[in-house]
Structures are given as structure tokens and as C-alpha cells.
Structure 1
Amino acid sequence: MFVDVAIGKGSGDIFTYSVPRELSSAVCPGKRVLVPLGSRRHTGCIVGIPKQTSREKLRDIISVLDEEPLFDEQDLSFFRWASRYYLYPPGKALGVILPSGIDVRSTKWVMPTGCEPAETDRFTGEQRRLLAALSDFPAGCALQTLTKACGRTSLEKDLKHLAGRGLLTLEERLQPPKVRRKNERIIRLAAPSASSEPRLTEKQRAVLDLIESIPQCTLSLLSGRIKNAADTVKRLEKKGFVLSEEREIYREPAAPPSFGREPDPLQLNEDQAKALDAILRAVEKRDYAPFLLHGVTGSGKTEVYLRAIASVLDSGGDALLMVPEIALTGQLIDRVRRRFDDRLIALYHSGLSEGERYDQWRKMQRGAARILIGTRSAVFVPIRDLRLIIVDEEHDASYKQDDRLPYNARDLAVVLGRFHDAPVVLGSATPDLQTYYNTRHRGFTCLKLPNRVENRPLPAVTIVDMKQPGARRGKNLLLSSPLATAIEETLTRGDQSLLLLNRRGFTTFLYCGECGHVFTCANCSVTMTHHMSQNLLKCHYCDYSIKAPPLCPVCKSGKILSFGAGTEKLHEEVTALFPHARTARLDSDVTSKRGSYETILSALYRREIDILVGTQMIAKGHDIPHVTLVGVVSADGALNIPDFRAAERTFQILTQVSGRGGRGRDPGRVFIQTINPDNPSIQRARNHDYDGFYHDEIFARRELGFPPFQRLINIRVSSPSEEKAAELARLLADTARSFIAAAKDKMAASVLGPAEPPLARIKGSYRRQILLKGPDTVFLHETAERVLKAAGRRASEVRIDVDPLNFM
């Protein structure tokens, strides 16, 4: 018997192994196995059982790690599709897809022998330091630990030399998985009314009463309520009053804070009813059908989602609800949990512990839950009877993963619908241009919600031209006079305000006023952001940080000046200007602690915050009824990014943040500060005019040959050596051009580059990028595959990004 095993280490390819007779009944696709690969042992996943193989001298699998498979054949077909489309090795793709922390890990262990060096031995300084570091670990240590202790990237050569001298030994050790199934003791009564037995003590009777009152009572629950309950249960079990058994339990994520009482569902308006009816007809047919639910902000898209999910559950099916960032949509999760039985809901996102992710994966796969809510990685979770897929805020770039398997979960959700013959609903007030184009030319159905619920008005938008005299309150102040006045008026009425500045930190960067030296990251070609509260300069790409220096390192001048502004500085200005207001800040610097985001949002909902300052985190998915003022402190940042989607992203964020205002009974106002008041994206956002923006932008895309008219594949080359990065990039670009030139259709594709990206150096690696562009997806993939083949052993320095969103 043979098995094909995908292994995430090394090349990430699929290898064939033989199966010992004693393990043959335990193997099936979807189970993980421990296998030998080279001189090490690794965890792999069975992806096929071939009837025969032409390969000789196959090695045996060592053990089967799972009692039940982690996915079935249909899931595997979907995973394979994603691996092929995104040109990512199948073993490495499964390493991204499956829950982390569940693999047996192979570690190289370094142990001192205790032998003293011979007098004739001669060692380099690096080798002496290695031996000194190893002496701190008499019982040995993992190679990774020793490498870190020596402050080096590789010790292989020196370890081989020292092992040859008999001073240390190297061996492989297996480390058990960090995550395993969690079991709990379930306690139940051996017979009814056992607590009336006269021989019982008062404490024993209390334990029995508690067991009787709680179905599936666990020992940990008893221990949390009654002191030393475990000893009492043991005595009761000996006397025959209770029975206990070990059962597997699911680790459940903590519930987000409440955002208040869920209002009674409103009666659907005519547009909502039509949209829901179209979705449910597709659900009933059990057929793939892609929809765009295009509704203005506050139009009741969520109510349509919830009613569609309820109908699916009533018919015995399951549903997937995807959100761009789980922390940003606590209010949506709160609404789902209030509408449906909590036991039917599973959550899946990176904010969970590894144990919680593993359990939520298996909970859905086993059918123990019926609704999965998650971020982009949830698209891979096996769902038994998937009949509806919903992607909320489908335009959001957070659905695209940039590292490792660079997939777009929004696009994969559409593919998943095809695999399961299920309708897919993509919801947004500002749809991705590609999605809206698909409704006009590629068979997607557009369902429009043009009005807010109860016909509430969209907020009135005022554009503040910061170039005009009188707009600025002072030279270095961020709030204009009109916006500051509007905040004061809002506070007087007892309403709330949101202020958007999409840059965290205090200032953009520091520089020397004498010689002009700019403080940049040691590892990346970017300036470091000043965080005044911590007195630090931080790189937001590699996390390198230093204390803010009092003197210039070049000329020793003390004239250190700042440029630009971030949310920290804006919050300081707001606090000084409105000292009696309750203010808060919302950005990734203040929400690094688990649950902190939901805590701030919940406080805003309870009206414990008057003014909230934040980055784009405040622009997404929030429905706060007493927010009547939204201020955009600078609308120009996104416009100046070197990216053909800059106008689209500007329009989206301005429209989305504007939509946070006036969602209650009082109308909202929006103030947009800009130095480009006539920019079409800003003007279209002012008028809430998506169709007008689409017509402007689609014309430009057609003229320039960008998506949706042509497809893109970005090839990124990186190396610690700038010269090697440039050399490899030139080789790969020439390979791509030669391959295209040999094709029959000479217009099949074009090659742009190689060129330095805007961020030419990140985390110590120099970068180049090559852009493949053409209308034929298959031919572009073939070209990229030829490029990977040309890279050969240097393929680890090359990353393929199909349908890229990030060109930085």
C-alpha cells in the first residue's frame, strides 16, 4: 500500500511512501503522518492513495497522527485548486491552511560531551564563543536556541568541526505537538434523588445538587464553585452515588463585550425583501450563484445576511460569514450571537489561541456547529453542508494575504461556492471595481439597497480646502477651524465624534534641522515613526526600535525636528482643545492586547467616549447611533501611494468612514480636510456617488490595461545582497520575455521591470519586482512557472503573487 504525502518542509512537494501492514487500516486522505525525509522526521499530510507507483525503494511512514481526518476529498480538491492557482507548493500550502501548533516537530539537539579540547586544537573566535555559549546548557539545547545565543544566522560549519573533535554531539529529537485534544471529566448522578441519601455530608449533598442542576456537569465547573470538589467527587464515586467519564471538549473563544440590546428586527423595506428573495431562491435550488449586495452605508445589509442564514439553518444547511478583520466587527458577531443559539456558532481567526483554532476547525468539520464566522483563513475550514457563503465588506484589502500563500479569501470564497454549489453573497457599500465589473460582464447578479433603513438621510459632507486662508487654526495644528467648531457643537448636543487620521504614532519621522539627516530603519528603506508616549522611534515593517535620540548621530546637533503627524499627536491636540471631553484613541498601538479593541468600541457604544481618534480601524463596520460627526483629518495620504488602485482606495475609505455618521435618529455631518479638493475621488465620495466613481475609474483602467481588463502576477525577488537581488531579477525578467516571445500570440503578455519597489529594502533584504501583465490567466501562470524553474535553487528568494494588491 502506498500514500502520497504533502510535506511543508523543504520544497513543499508531495512524496510517495509505503505503508507498513500494521498501519494500513489507519491511513486515509486528510490524516497527518510522521515520515522520514532526508536525515530528519517530519509531519506530512496524506493527499492521495495511489494503487501503484513506478518508484523503487520507498521509505515507510513511521506513524499515523490523527484518529480522524482533518478534511475530506472535497476540501482537498479545493485546497489543491488554491495551491495551483497561487503557484504555491502543496505541502507548504497545507502548512498555511491547517491549524497551527498540531504538528510533531523535529529539532536538532546540540549536547556538550564534557571532553576538554586537546592542547593541539586550534579554534576560531566564533568557535570559542560557540563552546562558551553551549557551556550554559549542560544538558544540551535546541540548535535554534544556541544559534540565537551566539547571535548568528548559521552554526552548521562550526558545529560539524567541533563534533569532529569530539567536543559536542548532534542528534534529532522529536517535540510533541503544542496543541492536543482537550479532555474533561463529565460527572453525572448514578441514580436520581441521590442527594436525599441520609449518609451524606452537607458538602456532598451540595455537590450532588449542583450536578443534578447542570446537564453535562464537568469537574472543572464543580471545582470553580465548590472548594476541593475533586476530593468530594472521588468519595461520592467510591460510594456509588456518581459516575464519571472522560470526554473531549471544545475550547471556546471568549465572548466579545456586549454592544447593547439587539433591537427587534425591522420590517424589511422593498429593496431588502427583493435582495433576500433572490438569495433564498438560489439557496433553494442548491446551485452556485454569485451576488453583489451593493447597499449604501446603513442600508440594512446585515439584516439581509441574518435572515438568509436563518433560512439556511431552518432547511438543515450550514453557512459561512466572512469579515475582513474579526476585531473590527465585534458588533456584527454580537448581533449574530443574539439572533442564533450560541452552540451553533464557531469562530475562526488569528486572534484565537492555537488550541481554540484547532477546536473550532474540528467543531465545524464534525457538524457540531452550523454557522462559521471568521476572517480570511475561515475560507479553508471544512463545513459539512455548506449552502450559503457571505463575504461582508468584500472590497477590503484585508482579505488578501501578502506572506506565504498569498491568497485572496474573497476570490476563494467565490471558488468555494462553485465547489459546494452554493450561492455567494459579496456585500459592500463600496464594491471592489473588479466585483462591480463582474456584475456587468461576467454573470454576477447585483442586488441594490440604495436607501438607508427607515429612509434616514446619508450624512452631509463638507470639504475643507486646507490651502484656503483661515482654514488652519495654527501652523502646526491638525484640526481646521470648521472641523474644530463642528466638534464643539457636537459636544454641546451630547453626541459623539469620530476623527480619522490613517497614520499611527506622534509624527511621521524625525530629522536634523542642521544637516538634514533623516532617522531611518537599520533594516528597511523607510523612515522610523516617532512614538512620543514611549519616547521611541519605531519601524512599522520590521518592529526595529530605538530610543528617540537627543542628538543627531551625524553632526551632533541637538536640533531634532519632526515632520508629519499621527494619531498620537492628533489625540494630544484634541485633548488639549477639548479638556472636558472624554477622548480615546483607536489604532494598532493601543489595541495590541487581546480584547482591547472590543473594549474601546463597547465603551463608545455605551456613550462613555465623546471623541474617538483612530486610523482606518474606525472606518469599518461600526453602527454607533449617537455618532453624528465624522472628521477626516487628511484625505490626501492614500491618493499619493504609487499604486494604480490609489483613487479607488481613497474613495472607499472616505465613503466608509463617512457612513459611520448619522446612523441613529439624528442626521450626520462629515468634514473632509484636503489640499486636493477637486480630486474626482474626493468629489465622488462627497456626493456618495459610487456609479460616477466607477465610470471615471473604469475608463482609466481600460486605457492603461489594468484589472479588470488584464490580469497581473507580481514576481518579487529578495536577497541580503543588493547585487544578487538585481542580478537574479534581471535573469528572471529575461526568462519571462524569452518565453513570451516564443509564444504564438506575441501579444499574450508583457513584462514590466525589473524595478525597485517603493520599499526597496525590508528586514535586511534588498528587493526587486517584475510584473507580468496580460489577458490570458493560463498563459500568465505558465510564464510564472517558467520563471520559478529558471530560479532553480534560488527559488526561496522568489515569491509569486497572483492578482497582487500590494506593490510596496
Structure 2
Amino acid sequence: MEDLFGDSIPLDESTHPSTFADVILPVPIPRMFTYRIPRTMEKSIGIGHRVIVQFGRKKVLTGIIGKVHQKPPKDYETKAILEVLDDQPVVNPLQIKFWFWMAEYYCCQIGEVMNAALPSGLKLSSESKIQLNPTFDPEASDFPIDDREQIILDALEKNDALTYEDCGKLLGIKSSYQIIKSLVIKEAVLVYEQVKEKYAPKVESRIKLKAPYSTSKKALEALFDQLSKNTKQEEILLKFLQEIPVFHAPERNEKGLEKKVITDAGLSPSSLKTLIKNDILEEFKVIVSRFENLPSDDREIKLADFQEEGLSSIKEQFDQKQTVLLHGITGSGKTEIYIHLIREVLDSGSQVLLLLPEIALTTQIVSRLQKVFGSEMGIYHSKHSDNERVEVWQGVLSGRFSFVVGVRSAIFLPFDSLGMIIVDEEHEPSYKQFDPAPRFQARDAAIMLSWLHQSKTLLGSATPSYESFYNARTQKYGYVHLSKRFGEAQLPEFHVADILVDKKKNLLKLDFTRIMREKIQEALDRQEQILIFQNRRGYAPYMSCEECGWIPECEHCDVNLTYHQYSEEMRCHYCGFKEKVPRACPACGSHKLTTVGIGTERLEESLSLLFPEARVGRMDLDTTRSKYAYQRIFDEFSSGNLDILVGTQMITKGLDFDRVTVVGIVDADRILYFPDFRSGERAFQQITQVAGRAGRRNRRGNVVIQTRRPDHEVFEKVIQGNFSEFYLTEMAERKRFFYPPFVKNVKITSRHKEAKVAEKAAINLANLLKDIPVKKIILGPERALIGKIKNQYLFDIYIKLDRAGNTPAIFKHEMGKILFELNTQKAFKSVRFVVDVDPY
């Protein structure tokens, strides 16, 4: 029992033993925390409920109940749970099981997984407030109160409490912290935490016509006679009756008309207020969904014969395998097959999750699916507001959304009866979360989630990841191949343009080879569209002084600053540092500053100069930062208002335009010669994917690849469409040098503001890891590829683990103990060790 102040009162435990809850808290500590459940809450609390608990002396946190039991902890006294936030659990036991798997597999803490899983709208925020100390007597105080402190005390006489922000406004200063601190020392005020719920439902103001005017025509006629001289009020009433026929549809009057229908029509707001005040109209508020109610289209989508065969094969293989890889070339119509499978699973009463690599880049597939599934489908991604994300979460809990399309974070939604997960473009690197923890691979995590639900996983791609293809070849996964394009679409014709040859012959103009310019001009003459791909934003990678060779570098990172012409500044794409372009070289004073390399901004400018009649647009991170920017550019291009679209990898995914017949890859070498064992695989994937945007209907497209190495094997295999042969060549290399999928990779990075400390910590760690008794190869430590980011020095250790048996699990367990021990040593207490499992 507890007294009025929440303190414990001894109970006879033999007759009524206490109940405890293990609570998952959003802190990077490797365990749950045990709290006592007050007697008054015992019937209303269970696994998956959100609770408020005190953590430490001052912090108030939102936690999730992970376990309920009657075993008190032996080593510390428990605090009581302060409050239960929900009538029903917001998380189910399967989710919690999934969180624990993720924490163990990806070597992070359960609190970090919970923090990533819950939308921020479901996490409470606490803000500090002050109130008068009831025992404070200004006359008896040993400390004088100054003028600014007195203003706050006077305000507290009139208000129960004030926030720090309120105090700042009262005093006309930015920060009132020091003044409040002084009042606390003088014991004049008390500071406490007020916990606030972040999520707020969307509330809509509506109006309805009151009785007797809504039930009697005579009363309504008399009202119009009465208002005949007040035209503004009469106009509002006529507009209302035009929208709501009260006598023919009285139920619509009860539901009300949105108030904004009147105000948006330019009618007088003050006259509307008068009608409400005079009891003619009634204003009321209702909670509404943030998502439109869209009708579904019942028309059946016809499949081509080869698609029917693929669909049948997928179903057959699902009888034997949990996971099937659908390998369909670009334009083969994988989406139509997805739609058939989704409909069958939904009709059986189960839920479906469709993962897409980046939701903002897949507008077409989302709009197509919405037409088919209507309001049955939810969308979950980072462009949504916190409140919208909470509504989707609650929609899955309530059963409103049985089908969700989302990015990698959608795997955390509270599904309770998943029948299928579809991972589209499963090869995409954006399924990998790099920061913060958990650093998970959504495709792999989805397969585990599917296993927990005893459901099926379909992986779809035109260029599968080598891990998935390997699993299919070794018969761990089922495999279905679609080798035809849908309809009359033909594969594009490839042209490999040698940049060096054109340069020698003086045929290279503004970064474009002769054949690239010719193909663009031919397409423009036929009123067709062009996509130009360059995976580097900005105007140029960097600037340089022609006299002394000076190159501007970031103050906080080991990288060059990227030149952005439109904003006339140089930016770091790692930490956001930026500075204005200098008029002269800071090193030697020369005015001969030039740009080096090619970015999307520069290409946009060059194309406008080469083809002045063309309308040129750009799609990269800089032009798509706002919520609807991508949609705007997409709509402009799809409606034909743009002739040429320049973009980064954004334009390689999910775009399907009838009129695109030319695709240009400006600098294929940049993709090819990246220091990564996957560079060949990624180059094949990116070139194939962007090439697949050309000629997707009945016109054959052209793909121009600009390179300095036209004889490279990748280009030959892409042109032949020979995925399997290139895969076998790459896999022979990986097997020889011990790379995935033949080994498990773990990368550990030591980070510290001093390079020597970071390096020493990494050396100590590497030596300790060598003693773990499992089959492994340890490489490093080495300075990271980018050795300093945000004033932190980075040193990497790479571990290659034998996949056999429990080797990875044993290594991770021992590694965890070593890292904990190192962080307790005085020399390395401030070093941050970042563990990344399957880092690529």
C-alpha cells in the first residue's frame, strides 16, 4: 500500500504479495528496470502498456512494460510506477520479442531499439516548471530578492506555475536559467517536471443548423424573412443549405459541415459568429483522421501469361519456403504480382506489410496501390508528421489498416497477424540504418519478423543483392525469375561513350560527350523526355586555387567542402558546416579559384546552355527537403512540363514515365571505383536500375554511359543483361578473400575528440578481441575512410567471422563483455565504441 505521498506502507506479503513490472526504458543500458506496480494499477496494467516512471533523481521517462511478475529485485529497492498512459497496450508481446532479437543480433541495447521503434508522438516529453515554495518567507530570508527575481515571484502569485520559457518572456531575455537557479538557492521557488503527452488528435470545427430551423420548413422560412435585411448572414445560411439539404438528409446535418467551408468561401466570419451566438447555428468539434477516406477500386488487374506463371510459382514455393526471391527485370510488372498477393492475404483476414526503400521516391507505386486498396492501406514514413505516424500506429492496433506501405521503420508497427511481408527493391542500401542504433538491415529484420509471425516474405528486385541471390541458389529461399518486360516494351539500346577519346578530339562540351548530346537532341526533337544521372549533388565536389593548389576543407571533418553555386556557399555534407565562397585564395591571395568535378547543379546549368529550348529540372537532396517538394518535381516531369530531369540516385528508383526514351549516366566511374568490396555489385545495380527507366512502353529507349574505362567488365555484363555471370565472377573473389555471404562482418569504430585516445582504445580492443576463442579474421585498427567527423576522430576494426554454428553469437557475447570492461577503464571512459553488424 501507499500513503497520500506515494510512500510505502508495509503489507502482509503472505496474503497479498507485491506485483512488479520489468520496464523497457529509452536508455542505452543493457537491461530492463524493475518497478513496483501500485495496488490501484494492478488490474489495468500488462505487457505492452506505456507507463511513466521516475528514473534517477529528476528524470521522468516513458517506458513499455516488458514483463509482469512477483519477484522483487535483491540488490535495490523498487520505486512505484507513477502512471499508466493507455487503457490498452500499444505494443504486443511479439513486438517485444522482436525488439529483444534486434538488440541481441545488432549488438545494441533494448532501450535503443524501443526508442527507434516508437514514433516520437507516443513518447512523453517533460518540461521543467517552477512554483512558489509554500514555506518561503521573504521577510525572514537571509538573501535579498532583486528586481528581476521579484517580477517572477509576483507572476507566481497570480499563476500556479511558470515554465522557463514563460520566465524568459516576462523578463524579455532569452535564457532565465541563472535567475531561476538563484531563486532555487534562496528557497523561494521549487522546480518540478510536468509530463506532457506529445500526440494530439486532429480536431475539426463543424457547424449544424439547430432546431426548429432544421426540422420545420415554416420556422426556416420565417428565419429568412427575419434575415432579409442582413445579407451577410443570409449568404452564410444559403451556403450552408446548399451544402447540407437538412430536410432531405437530416443525418448530414447531425454530422455537420466543416466550418472552413464557410470561411474559405470568403463569407463573413463575424456574421457566422453572430448566427452561432443567436442559436441559429451550433458549432461543435469532432476528432477526425489525418488521412483521407479513399474508395478502393474493385476492378481486377489482368496479368500477362508470364506474370501468371510467376504468381503461381511464388505460391507453390511458399508451400516449401518461408522466403521467396522474385527476380524480375525492370519493367516486368512486379507491382501487379504484389497486388494479387496482397489482395489474397487480406481476404484471408491477415495483415500485409510492403517495404519500399524510400517512400518519397516511390510516389507512383503508392498512388497505384491507393487506387486499389483505398482506405484499407496506411502509409508510414519520415515525411509524415509525428501525429500522422501515431495515427498509422493506432490504425494498425485498431484494425483500421490491415495493409501498410512504409520505409524501414515500418517493421516496428504493432502487427498481430502478419500474413506476408514484401520487400521491394530488396537490394537497396537505404534499407540499412547507419545511425543511431539499432544499425539494422530492414530486409534481414523483416525476414526475422516474418518468422516470428509464421508468415511469408517476398523479396523483389531486378538486380538482387548477392546475399539474397546466394540464398536462392543454395535453395534456402525460393526463386522466381521474370525475364520479359510487360506489354510491348523493349529493353533499351546501350551506348558506351569514352570521355578520354572525346576530350582528345575536342568533342567534349560542358561535361557531355558527342553521342550523349546527339541522343538528347534527338529525344527533344521528338518531344520525348530525358533523365540524366549523376550521384553527386552540389555544383562541384570542391574548389581549388590554380596557383597554390589550396582546397577548402571542413573545420570539423576530414572532407573537402562541396561548392553549391545557387546558394553561393561551400558545404560539408557530413556535419552541415558551411561558409561563403572566398573572393581570393586564403593561402596565397590569388583570384584564380576554379571548381573541380561535376555535381547535379553544374549539370543542370550545362544542359540549359547546351539546349536552351529545353526545360530542365533537378532532383536531389537540396531540391527535395520540404514535405511536398519531391511530389511537385515528379508532377512537373510526369505532366510534361519538364523535358530533362537531372538527379542523384533518387531518379533510379520507382519512376515509370511513358515518354522517357533517353537515360544518360554522366560519370559511371564514380560508381565503379569506390573503395568497397561491393563496388562492382552496386555499379551493376545502379546502372541497370537507371537504365531501366528508358523506353518502358512501346518505344525503344537509349542509355548512354560516359566512362574513362569503356572496356570494363561491368558495362559488358550490364549491356548483355547477364546478371548471373557477373555474380559468379564477383562471388569467386569474395570466397577467395573471405567476404559476405561466406563470412559474417562486424565493424567496430572507436570515436574520440583526441586522435591518440581513439587509436589507443582501438588497439587495446583489437588485442582483446583476438583472444575470443572462435574462428575469425581481425583487420585493423585503421584510420577510418573519413578519419574525422564532427570533431571526433574515428578508427575502424573489421572482423570476419566464420558463419558456422554459434560462432557469431559467441563472438558478440564476449565482445559485449570486453566493450563494457574497456568503458569502465579511466583511460577509455570517454571513448565511444560503435558496433555495426553487417555494416555494408
TM-score range, shorter chain: 0.7 to 0.9
CA apart distance, 1:643: 0.9
Q: State the distance in 1 between where 2:357 and 2:252 align.
A: 37
Match of 1:608 in 2: 641
* Alignment CA distance shift 1:580-1:472 (3 Å): farther
The answer to whether residue 26 in structure 2 is matched with residue 8 in structure 1 is yes
Which residues of 2 match residues 662-673 of structure 1 at below 5 A? 662-673=695-706
Q: 1:780–1:57: structure 2 CA closer, same or farther, 3 Å change rule?
A: closer
Distance change in 2, residues 1:589/1:205 (3 Å): closer
- Work out whether 1:529 is the aligned partner of 2:565: no
Q: Which amino acid aligns with 2:381?
A: H
Separation in 1, partners of 2:551, 2:706: 27
Aligned match for 1:773, one of 779, 783, 800: 800
Asked whether the equivalents of residues 187 and 217 of structure 1 are also in contact (C-alpha less than 8 Å), the reply is: no
Q: Report the counterpart of residue 749 of structure 1 in structure 2.
A: 776
Q: Distance in 2 between matches of 1:21 and 1:230?
A: 52
Question: Aligned letter for 2:303?
Answer: L
Which residues in structure 2 correspond to 1:406-445 (within 5 Å)? 406-445=439-478
SS in structure 1 of the partner of residue 89 of structure 2: coil
Q: CA offset at residue 249 of structure 1?
A: 3.3
The AA in structure 2 aligned to 1:336 is L
Given that residues 111 and 140 in structure 1 are in contact (C-alpha distance below 8 angstroms), is that contact kept between their aligned partners in structure 2?
no
3-state DSSP class of the match of 1:533? coil
Show the counterpart of 1:30.
48
Shift of 1:188: 8.3
Verify: 1:173 aligned to 2:193, yes or no. Answer: yes
Contact 2:750/2:831 (8 A) holds in 1: no
- CA distance, structure 2, for counterparts of residue 189 and residue 28 of structure 1: 46
SS of residue matched to 1:316: coil
How far apart are 1:220 and its partner, in Å? Answer: 6.9
Residues 264, 38 of structure 1: alpha-carbon distance in 2 compared, 3 angstrom cutoff:
closer
Quote the Cα distance in structure 1 between the aligned partners of 2:252 and 2:174: 55
Give CA deviations for 1:564-594 in whole Å, capped at 9, x if unaligned.
Answer: 0101111111001100111111111111121
Of the structure 1 ranges 44-53 and 658-667, higher mean CA displacement relative to structure 2 is found in 44-53
Q: CA deviation at 1:370?
A: 1.9
Q: Aligned pair 1:141/2:174, yes or no?
A: no
1:763 aligned residue: 790
Shift of 1:267: 3.8
- 1:595 maps to a residue whose letter is Y
**151 and 473 in structure 1: CA distance in 2 versus 1, 3 angstrom threshold:** farther
Corresponding residue of 1:624: 657
Q: Retained in 2: the 8 A contact 1:110–1:142?
A: no
Deviations 1:24-79 (A, max 9, x none): 22211112111111112222111111232343521101111223211111222112
How do 1:288-437 residues align onto structure 2 when only pairs under 5 Å count? 289-340=322-373, 342-404=374-436, 405-437=438-470
Q: Deviation per CA, 1:230-275: give whole Å up to 9, x if none.
A: 8699679x79x99x987643322899xxxxx999876423331122
2:401 partner SS: coil
Once the two structures are overlaid, the 10-residue window that deviates more, 12-21 or 197-206, is: 197-206
- Is the partner of 1:757 in helix, strand or coil? strand
Structure 1 residue 728, shift from structure 2 partner: 1.4
Q: Secondary structure at the match of 2:434?
A: coil
The match for 2:249 among 198, 212, 219 is 212
Matched residue, 1:790: 821
In the alignment, structure 1 segments of 5+ residues that lack a partner are 116-120, 122-130, 256-260
Instruction: After TM superposition, give the deviation of residue 23 of structure 1 in Å.
Output: 1.7
Matching of residues 696-707 of structure 1 within 5 Å: 696-707=729-740
> Once structures 1 and 2 are overlaid, which stretch shifts more, 531-540 or 726-735?
726-735
State which drifts further: 42-51 or 469-478.
469-478
Aligned to 1:126: none
- Structure 1 residue 314 displacement after superposition: 2.3
**Are the structure 2 counterparts of residues 476 and 385 from structure 1 closer, same or farther at C-alpha, using a change threshold of 3 Å?**
same
**TM-aligned CA deviation for residue 213 of structure 1:** 7.9
- Cα displacement (A) at 1:105: 2.5
**Cα-to-partner distance string for 1:119-141 (whole Å, 9 max, x where unaligned):** xx9xxxxxxxxx9xx9xx99773
What corresponds to 1:118 in structure 2?
Answer: none
- Alpha carbons 1:17, 1:60 under 8 Å: kept: yes
Q: How does 1:576-595 map to 2 (within 5 A)?
A: 576-595=609-628
- Of the three residues 535, 546, 557, the one matched with 2:579 is 546
Determine the structure 2 residue equivalent to 1:221: 258
User: 1:328 touches 1:620 (CA, 8 Å); kept in 2?
Assistant: yes
Distance in 2 (CA, whole Å) between partners of 1:10 and 1:669 is: 52
Q: Letter of the 2:783 partner, please give it.
A: E
Between the aligned partners of 2:705 and 2:131, the Cα distance in structure 1 is 64
Distance 1:295 1:445, change over 3 A: same
Question: Is 266-275 or 324-333 further displaced after alignment?
Answer: 266-275
Q: Which residue in 1 is equivalent to 2:839?
A: 804
Distance across 2 between alignment mates of 1:46 and 1:333: 35
CA distance in 2, matches of 1:253, 1:642: 46
Q: In 2, are the aligned partners of 1:347 and 1:373 still within 8 Å (CA)? A: yes
Letter in 2 for 1:87: C
Deviations 1:147-188 (A, max 9, x none): xx9999xx99x9999799759988342341332334557888
**Secondary structure of the corresponding residue to residue 451 of structure 2:** helix
Q: Do the aligned partners of 1:527 and 1:539 also contact (CA within 8 Å) in 2? A: yes
Q: Distance in 2 between matches of 1:624 and 1:206?
A: 41
User: How far apart are 1:327 and its partner, in Å?
Assistant: 0.9
Given that residues 204 and 286 in structure 2 are in contact (C-alpha distance below 8 angstroms), is that contact kept between their aligned partners in structure 1? yes
For residue 764 of structure 2, what is the aligned residue in structure 1?
A: 731
* Cα 1:531/1:421, change in 2 over 3 Å: same
Residue 224 of structure 1, CA deviation: 2.5
Deviation at 1:604, TM superposition (A): 1.5
Does the aligned pair in 1 maintain the 2:106–2:836 contact within 8 Å? yes
* 1:655 shift after superposition: 0.4
**C-alpha distance after superposition, 1:267-291 (max 9, x if no partner):** 42333112212444577x6x86201
Residue type of the alignment partner of 1:613: V
**How far, CA to CA, are the matches of 1:567 and 1:199 in structure 2?**
68
**2 CA distance for matches of 1:565 and 1:550?**
21
Change in 2 beyond 3 A, CA 1:788/1:372? same
Shift of 1:788: 2.3
* Bigger mean CA deviation after superposition, 760-769 or 245-254: 245-254
Distance change in 2, residues 1:428/1:168 (3 Å) = farther
Q: Give the letter aligned to residue 774 of structure 1.
A: L
How far, CA to CA, are the matches of 1:774 and 1:627 in structure 2? 46
**Distance across 2 between alignment mates of 1:356 and 1:475:** 50
Of residues 448, 460, 477, the one that matches 2:493 is: 460
The alpha-carbon deviation at position 218 of structure 1 amounts to 5.5
2-structure distance, mates of 1:369, 1:615: 33
> Kindly tell me: are residues 700 and 334 of structure 1, through their superposed partners in 2, closer, same or farther at Cα, counting changes over 3 Å?
same
Matching residue of 1:124: none
In 2 relative to 1, CA 107–442 (structure 1 residues): closer, same or farther, beyond 3 Å?
Answer: farther
Question: Are 1:112 and 1:140, in contact at CA under 8 Å, matched by a contact in 2?
Answer: no
> Does the 8 A contact of 1:508 with 1:530 survive in 2?
yes
Alpha carbons of structure 1 residues 514 and 220: separation in structure 2 relative to 1, 3 Å: farther
Paired residue for 2:97?
Answer: 77
The CA distance in 2 between the partners of 1:53 and 1:233, in whole Å, is 63
| Structure 1 pair 653–215 and aligned structure 2 pair: CA distance change class (3 A) | farther
Matched position secondary structure for 1:522 = coil
Residue 128 of structure 1 corresponds to none
> Following the alignment from structure 1 to structure 2, what is the Cα–Cα distance between the partners of residues 441 and 193?
76
Q: Deviations over 1:198-240 (max 9, x none)?
A: 213452755752793886976572442466698699679x79x
2-side partners of 1:401 and 1:10: how far apart? 17
In 1, Cα distance between equivalents of 2:274 and 2:453: 51
Alignment: residue pair count: 767
Q: Secondary structure at the match of 2:487?
A: helix
The SS at the match of 1:676 is coil
Q: Does 1:52 align with 2:83?
A: no
Give the Å deviation of 1:719: 1.2
* Distance in 2 separating the partners of 1:230 and 1:692: 73
